[in-house]
């Protein structure tokens, strides 16, 4: 009888240890974005552009308590996603992972194997296709792109990558994940 209670307590505790984590990726193009601006009458605004097609890919994860995790990669593929998935799993060892249906998230054999091997501690929850309103990270990407790309010029691509990296290392967004996950409820 004591064993049964202990087992029930352990079962409750294990469910309680789980956290909810949202994951997403975004591309930051080495280019200035232009929005409406105030300008002196009779003058034309000048916006410097690089003409480059270079970009940096950022992976992000945030849990229900607001803990953030960001990493910068040169590309988005199954290998970079699997690398970031390992980082997520080490930071949030027991989690429900909310993510979109990008092919890199579920089609790769290696990703499927990793999820299967860790199915007791890392449970993927795929959001409906074309549903950015459920992703807290979509709002974070919008804020970051506004702060980093609107009417900004970076002298070099390396300077651009460094500024973005510093931004995500220090920025705390303070958004409430519940507001995003419960939008349809």
Question: Which of helix, strand or coil describes residue 27?
Answer: strand
The whole-number pLDDT of residue 54 equals: 87
Q: What is the CATH number of the domain that holds 104?
A: 3.30.420.10
Using pLDDT thresholds of 50, 70 and 90, give the confidence band for residue 12.
very low
9 or 51, which is more confident: 51
Using pLDDT thresholds of 50, 70 and 90, give the confidence band for residue 30.
confident
Query: Do residues 157 and 29 lie in contact, with contact meaning Cβ atoms separated by under 8 Å?
Result: no
- Residue 27, domain member (yes or no): yes
Per DSSP, 12 falls in state: H
- Residue 41, domain member (yes or no): no
- Nearest CA among 34, 91, 35 for reference residue 68: 91
Using pLDDT thresholds of 50, 70 and 90, give the confidence band for residue 7.
very low
**Total-model pTM:** 0.80
Q: Which residue has the tokens 């410097």?
A: 48
The whole-number pLDDT of residue 10 equals: 45
Residue 151 belongs to domain spanning: 20-36+48-181
The whole-number pLDDT of residue 48 equals: 60
Looking at the structure of the chain, the number of domains it has is 1
Separation of first and last alpha carbons in the chain = 40
- Residue 60, domain member (yes or no): yes
The whole-number pLDDT of residue 85 equals: 97
Q: Which residue has the tokens 């970076």?
A: 154
Mean pLDDT for 152-175 is 92
pLDDT tens-digit series, residues 73-92: 999 999 999 999 999 999 99
Task: Give the whole-angstrom CA distance, residue 112 versus residue 172.
Answer: 32
- Residue 99, domain member (yes or no): yes
pLDDT tens-digit series, residues 33-77: 656 666 788 887 666 655 667 889 999 999 999 999 999 999 999
The whole-number pLDDT of residue 9 equals: 43
Q: Which residue has the tokens 């900004």?
A: 152
- Residue 8, domain member (yes or no): no
pLDDT tens-digit series, residues 132-154: 888 999 999 999 999 998 878 78
- Residue 80, domain member (yes or no): yes
- Residue 9, domain member (yes or no): no
Structure tokens, 169: 């290392």
The whole-number pLDDT of residue 11 equals: 47
The whole-number pLDDT of residue 99 equals: 93
- Residue 10, domain member (yes or no): no
- Over pLDDT 70: what percentage of the chain? 82
The whole-number pLDDT of residue 41 equals: 85
């Amino acid at each position: 009888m004591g064993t049964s209670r202990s087992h029930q307590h352990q079962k409750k505790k294990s469910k309680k240890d789980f956290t909810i984590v949202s994951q997403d990726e975004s591309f930051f193009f080495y280019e200035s974005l232009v929005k409406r601006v105030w300008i002196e009458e009779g003058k034309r605004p000048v916006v410097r552009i690089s003409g480059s097609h270079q970009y940096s890919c950022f992976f992000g994860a945030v849990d229900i308590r607001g803990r953030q995790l960001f990493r910068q990669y040169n590309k988005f593929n199954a290998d970079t996603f699997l690398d970031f998935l390992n980082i997520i799993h080490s930071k949030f060892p027991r989690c429900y992972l909310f993510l979109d249906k990008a092919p890199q998230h579920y089609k790769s054999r290696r990703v499927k194997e990793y999820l299967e091997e860790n199915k007791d501690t890392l449970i993927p929850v795929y959001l409906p296709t074309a549903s950015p309103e459920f992703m807290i990270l979509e709002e974070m990407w919008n804020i970051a792109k506004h702060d980093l790309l609107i009417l900004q010029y970076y002298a070099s691509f390396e300077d651009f990558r460094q500024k973005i990296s510093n931004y995500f290392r220090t920025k705390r967004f303070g958004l409430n994940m519940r507001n995003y996950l419960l939008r349809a409820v």
